[in-house]
A = this chain, B = another copy of it.
Amino acid sequence: MSGQALDRIRIVLVRTSHPGNIGAAARAMKTMGLRQLWLVAPEHFPDPVAAARASGATDILDRAQVVESLGDALQGTVFSLALSARRREWSVPPVGAREAVGQLLPLTRQGEVALVFGHEATGLTNDELALCSQPVMIPTDPAFSSLNLGAAVQLLCYELRMAALAGAPAAEAVPPDNLATFDEIEGFHGHLLQAMTESGFYEPSNPKRLLPRVRRLFGRIRLEREEVNILRGILSALQRKT
């Protein structure tokens, strides 16, 4: 079970600027038995510095998927954690790494999941964070929270391995059976945006904080496939009456 679960976890690095950090992440992953590295618009890749820092984990680099947007890297996933150094005003509050990994691991039985790490200096944009299911934080000392990207990947991969080795998922946390995938949820958000715009509730010229608030609301639910169908059915019925 543990190996299978770890094979279904994507480590996604977004707009990484230093190739050494990509290599360090590959090494960190391999020591903990993870294999799937996804790179969103890396500044330099492939790069000899990445290969040198990978130090024997070059197979992870060779098989890395390079894509253009975070949405591409999340296609087909059923859950994603986003590392967040700071608390954002409009997002779901972050949970600690150990707890978050305890949520994520059982969901590998339903499909692929992702752990997303932003740019070294600027992190993830608010739009990128909004694509992910749950922010996660590493409980560093508030007086000095400057974790290197490779170190952050190392800590989260370690927690994943520890959780996988612990085996049986926590009995209370039975995950819902039939989670919607990233693309199904994005389809719902697209439909909702269209209905809100048509009806005049959402004014693109005066967006205020409406879209982030709506994403934060539905992002907390972890929608099931059937629930997405119900919500879209309600929207379609209301639109038809128009």
Contact = CB atoms under 8 A, between A and B. Distances in A.
Given A217-B221, A221-B217, A221-B221, A199 B240 contact: yes
Interface stretch (A64-72, A110-118, A125-133, A141-149): A141-149
A210 B238 contact: no
B217 A220 contact: no
A195 B234 contact: yes
B230 A210 contact: yes
Given A32-B141, A55-B146, A242-B242, A201 B237 contact: yes
A140 interface: yes
Nearest to A223: B217
Interface string A39-54: 0000000000000000
Interface stretch (A7-15, A76-84, A100-108, A154-162): A154-162
Given A200-B241, A210-B230, 17 more contacts: A30-B144, A31-B144, A31-B145, A31-B151, A32-B141, A56-B146, A57-B144, A57-B146, A141-B161, A200-B237, A201-B233, A213-B226, A217-B227, A218-B221, A221-B221, A235-B238, A241-B241
